[in-house]
Amino acid sequence: MPGHAFNFNGGVELSRMAASWFVSYSYYLYKDKSHKNWQNVSYQSRISVFNRTKNYHQFWLRKILEMDDNKLNTNKIGLDAAETKRLAKKLLK
């Protein structure tokens, strides 16, 4: 179980993946195969969570746009909050 769960539908699952990782992996899958930040952490179990939670993905992208930049900046994949949100916006288009 993650240290915290986001307080919205599917929040526990998103916390297991991490919000920035979720955006990064989504961007890789749907927009740009050269985007590899998501590979900077262990990801096998995250991909499993990703694959079984597709019904939440659009909702989560919108929620991530509202997240606190300081918390998003704590990710371990090398994306700052501004870049995470920029990728999320592109995914929503």
For residue 3, tell me if it sits in a domain. no
For residue 2, tell me if it sits in a domain. no
Number of domains in the chain: 1
For residue 6, tell me if it sits in a domain. no
For residue 59, tell me if it sits in a domain. yes
Measured CA distances, 79 to 10, 26, 70 (Å):
23, 14, 12
The span from the CA of 77 to the CA of 5, in Å, is 19
In this predicted model, what pLDDT tens digit does every residue of 52-68 receive, in sequence order? 999 999 999 999 999 99
Mean pLDDT of the chain: 95
Residue-level pLDDT at 5: 77
Residue-level pLDDT at 1: 42
